[in-house]
Structures are given as structure tokens and as C-alpha cells.
Structure 1
Amino acid sequence: MSKQIRKANVLSTKQITPHLQRIVLGSDEFKDLSTSYIGNYVKVLIPKDHKIDLDIKTACIRSYTIRDIDPENGAITLDFVINMHQGPATQWAQLVKVGDGVAIAGPGPKKLDNYDHGHYVLLGDLTSVNAIKAYLQLLPKTANIDAFIHVPTAQDIISLNTTRNVNWLVTSTPDKSMLNALSNLEISEQPPIVFMALEAGLVRKVKTQLDERFSIPRCNIVSSGYWKKGLNSERYKQLRQRDAELARIS
């Protein structure tokens, strides 16, 4: 990811569903951002006590997928999950006001980069819904796409600006619902490319099912555990950093 830090201001903020807050950020430093960056991620340097920390080493940082970009001025739209998990990013998203300042690092690349395949399986939740939105528009029109997104309420279903079929799983038991939905997948001779961005524990369960039931090779799976049940975002980030460091030195 580019380490460029851009200062921005909140242009609008609106709660669009029971669990999503949509925030539009604008800056003169966004003018180089075209609509080709929709679906890429940025890192938001969350202000503390209304003060912006521009140091990527010390700031509280969270990653968000770009939902939309205004082609005229580069303003970016991000959706923040609220009323589900506690943490500085959630609190900021709920309290932020128009005109408040913030800093953005990036954008970084899209997680999925194979757009020349015959079958894709896209799995997500509210944290990754906009990544799936972007892929639905980028993947081949001739490709078979199975998309599953679990949400806590029917009111959390949002427009993905696509004519592709999306299976919305409204559920209070996402692990069970997602695994049950996947059990009915129809796999051709060519294994699909799988993108999943879910709770870390569910990612592991889905990988196991894809391997044991469908023999989908791990090299066909692009996955991210965006959050972890039972841990606040700060503690989960610390554990991921620790695991990455252990993997680097082992």
C-alpha cells in the first residue's frame, strides 16, 4: 500500500442501515483518485480527541474499502460498521460531523486480481460488502458467480449497483447460515476462484469446507479475516501483527 498520507474533511455522514454509517470524505489531495480505485482499500487514521495523527506508526488505523469515488473531485465514500463492535473507529464514525478532519493512507490494491476465470465464489459480511460490490462489476460477464453476504437484519441489505444475483443471508447465526449455503454449491471441473472476507473464525471453517467437500485448492482462495469474534479491533490488530512477525522470522 502507498504510504502517502492525505488530509481530508468529512463532506457528509449518514446512517443508512441499522449497522452501517456512510461517510463521504473530500480533499484537494484526492484529485488523482479515479473511479478505477473503487473496490481498493484505504487506511483511515482515526482522530483521537479531534486531533489528527499523521504518523502511520502511532495512529489508530483501520482499513476500509472504497465504495464510490466522485470522478469530478475524487471524494471517496466509505461505509463503517456500527452498533455491532466497540472500538475507536466505530465511535468516531458515530460521532463525526461534517467538516471534521481525518487522514487517509493509500489506496492499496484490490485483494482479488484474477479477472479471467469461469467461476467465482464471493463471500462476505457488512465489513466486506463493498469489496464484493466492486468485484461484481469487474468480473467477466460470462463468468458464473455465486455471491453470499450475511447480514444481521433485512434492513442492512444495500444496493450493490449490479444486475448479478446476490444471496443475502439474514441471520443471527452467520457461521451456520454461510456453511449451509455453501453446501449447495455446484462446482464444475474447473475449481472456482474464491474471495472471502469474514470473521476470522468463519474464514477457517469455510476454508475447511471448501477443501474437504469441494477439493478447492488453497491457491484459488483469496481470504481475509477482517475481524475476530470476542476481540475488540485493537486487540485483534495486535494479534495479527504478532502472528505476521512470527511468520516472518520462522
Structure 2
Amino acid sequence: MGKQVRKAKVLSTEQITPHLQRIVVGSDDFSDLTPAHIGSYVKVLIPQNGQVDFNLKTACMRSYTIQNVDPASGALTLDFVINMHNGPATLWASTAQVGDDVGIAGPGPKKLDNYQHSHYVLLGDLTSVNAIKGYMQQLPQSAKIDAFVHVPTKQDIIELHTQRIANWLVTDTPDTDMLSALNNLPQTNEAPIVFMALEAGLVRKAKTLLTQEYNIPRSNIVSSGYWKKGVDSEGYKKERQQSPELA
């Protein structure tokens, strides 16, 4: 990810579903950002006590996928999960006001970089739904895509702005239902490229299923545990710093 840190302000904030807060941030420093960055991620430097620490070594930071980029101004739309997990980012997103200061670092590259394949499997939840959205929009039209996104309520299903169909799993038992959905994956001649960004424990289970039952090479799987059940965001961040393979 680029080291550039941009000073920005909240332009708008709206709770769009029971568990998503959509915040638009803008800055004169966003002139180089374009819709091509949709699906990439930025680091949000979360204000603490109303103050933003713009030092990347000491700031409270969280990664968020870009939901949209205003083509004229470069303003970024970001979706924050709320009412599910506690932490500084959730608290800030729930209480942010128009005009509040915030820091943005990046954007960084998309996790998935192979756009020449014939079949993709995309697995996500509310923390990664905009990464799924970006790939569904940008992968070649000739490719087959099987996308599964689990959400806690029907009201959390959002528009992905693509003609491709996502399979929405409305469930409070994603560990069971996501793996059940994978058991029904269609067989194809070529092993698919898999992108998954989910709860860390579910990532491990899904990866085991895909490699052992479907013989998908590990090199075909791009995975990331965006959060971990039973561990707060600070604790999980420390775990990933100590064990980079968890990221």
C-alpha cells in the first residue's frame, strides 16, 4: 500500500442497513482517485477523542474496501460494519458527523490480481461485500462467477450494481451455511480461482474443504481473515502482526 496519508473530512454519513454505516469522505488530496480504485482498500486513520493521528506507526488504523469513488472529486464511499462488533472503528462510524476530520492512507492493491481465468469463487460477508462487488464488476464477462455473501438479516442485502447474481446467505450460523453452500459448487474443467474474506475461523474451514474435497490448489486461493470471533479488533490486529499468515 502507498505510504501517502491524506487528510480528509466526512462529507456524509448514513445508516443504510441494520449493520452498515455508509460514510463518504472527501479531500483536495483525492484528485488522483478514480472509479478504477473501486474494490481496492484504504487504511482509515480513526480519530481518537476527536483527534486524528496522521503517523502510520502510531495511528489507530483499520482497512476498508472502497465502495465507490466520485469520478469528479475522488470522494470515497466506505461502508463500516456496526451493531455487531465493538471497537474504535465501529464507535467512530456510529457517531461520525459531517465535517469531522479523518485520515486516509493508500489505496492499496486489490487482493485478487488474476483476471484471465475462466471460473471464480467469491466468498464474503458484510466486512468484505464491497470487495466482492468490485470483483463481480471487473472480472471478465466470459468468466463464470459463483459468489456467496452471508449477512445477518435480509435488510443487510445491498445493491452490487452488476448484472451478475450473488448468492445471499441470510444466516446467523455462517460456519454451517457457508460450508454447505460450497458443497454444492458446480464442477468445472479448470480449478477455480477462489477469493475469500471472512471470519478467520471460517476461512480456515473453507480452505480445508476446498483443498481436500475439491482438490483446488492452495495457489488458487486468495484468502484473508478480516476479523476473528471472540477477539476484539485490537487483539486480532496484534495476532496478525505476530503471525502474518493469519492476515
State the TM-score, normalizing by the size of structure 1: 0.97
How far off is 1:235 after superposition? 0.4
Q: 1:45 maps to which residue?
A: 45
How far off is 1:187 after superposition? 2.0
Q: Deviations over 1:48-104 (max 9, x none)?
A: 000010011111100000000001000000000000000000000000000000000
Give the AA of the match of 1:166. Answer: A
3-state SS, counterpart of residue 80 of structure 2: strand
Give the AA of the match of 1:217. Answer: P
Q: Is it true that 1:63 corresponds to 2:63 in the alignment?
A: yes
Q: 2:112 maps to which residue?
A: 112
Give the AA of the match of 2:87. Answer: G
Q: Distance in 2 between matches of 1:188 and 1:32?
A: 40
Q: 2:193 maps to which residue?
A: 193
3-state SS, counterpart of residue 84 of structure 2: coil
Q: 2:149 maps to which residue?
A: 149
Give the CA RMSD over aligned residues: 1.0
Q: Distance in 1 between matches of 2:143 and 2:67?
A: 23
Q: Distance in 2 between matches of 1:59 and 1:71?
A: 29
Moved more, 185-194 or 200-209: 185-194
Q: How does 1:21-36 map to 2 (within 5 A)?
A: 21-36=21-36
The number of aligned residues is 246
Q: 1:76 maps to which residue?
A: 76
How far off is 1:188 after superposition? 1.3
3-state SS, counterpart of residue 122 of structure 2: strand
3-state SS, counterpart of residue 161 of structure 1: coil
Give the AA of the match of 1:182. Answer: L
Q: Distance in 2 between matches of 1:120 and 1:54?
A: 38
Q: Which runs of 4+ in 1 moved over 6 A?
A: none
Q: 1:238 maps to which residue?
A: 238
How far off is 1:243 after superposition? 1.1
Q: Deviations over 1:201-238 (max 9, x none)?
A: 00000001001110000000000000000000000000
Q: Distance in 2 between matches of 1:79 and 1:199?
A: 17
Q: Is it true that 1:205 corresponds to 2:202 in the alignment?
A: no
Q: Distance in 2 between matches of 1:200 and 1:88?
A: 20
Give the AA of the match of 2:43. Answer: K
Stretches of structure 1 lacking an aligned partner (at least 5 in a row): none
Q: Distance in 2 between matches of 1:36 and 1:138?
A: 9
